[in-house]
């Protein structure tokens, strides 16, 4: 299990306003609003890595997902890097930037 600091959790706080809008969109079958919400969500590096592994890098780019946390954790070139290397970084106690 990945543990986050209070500072890291604060970066995810904007998601609190997005989730109810997204849930309502899902409930009414509004795919456009659901997609817009998905692009606004601040996604955890582990989630983005799993998306990269299952969907591929191109799909992440095409869908316009917010990758700021993955960039913070793995570096600007994370979509081009080997998944095993990223998994090692994810499981390390700290990476270069201290997260």
> What mean pLDDT comes out for the span 65-93?
94
On the CB side of 44, CA atoms within 13 Å amount to 13
pTM over 0.85: no
For the stretch 16-74, pLDDT in tens is 999 999 999 999 999 999 999 999 999 999 999 999 999 999 999 999 999 999 999 99
Of 36, 32, 69, which Cα lies nearest the Cα of 51? 69
Contact 48, 69 (CB under 8 A): yes
> pLDDT category, 95, cuts 50, 70, 90?
very low
Cα dihedral sign for 66, 48, 92, 82? negative
């Amino acid at each position: 299990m990945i543990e986050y600091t209070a500072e890291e959790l604060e970066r995810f706080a904007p998601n609190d306003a997005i989730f109810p809008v997204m849930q309502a969109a899902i409930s009414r079958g509004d795919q456009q609003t659901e997609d817009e919400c998905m692009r606004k969500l601040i996604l955890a590096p582990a989630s983005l890595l799993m998306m990269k592994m299952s969907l591929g890098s191109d799909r992440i780019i095409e869908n316009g997902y917010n990758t700021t946390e993955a960039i913070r954790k793995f570096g600007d070139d994370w979509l081009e890097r080997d998944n095993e290397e990223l998994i090692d970084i994810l499981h390390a106690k700290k990476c270069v930037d201290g997260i």
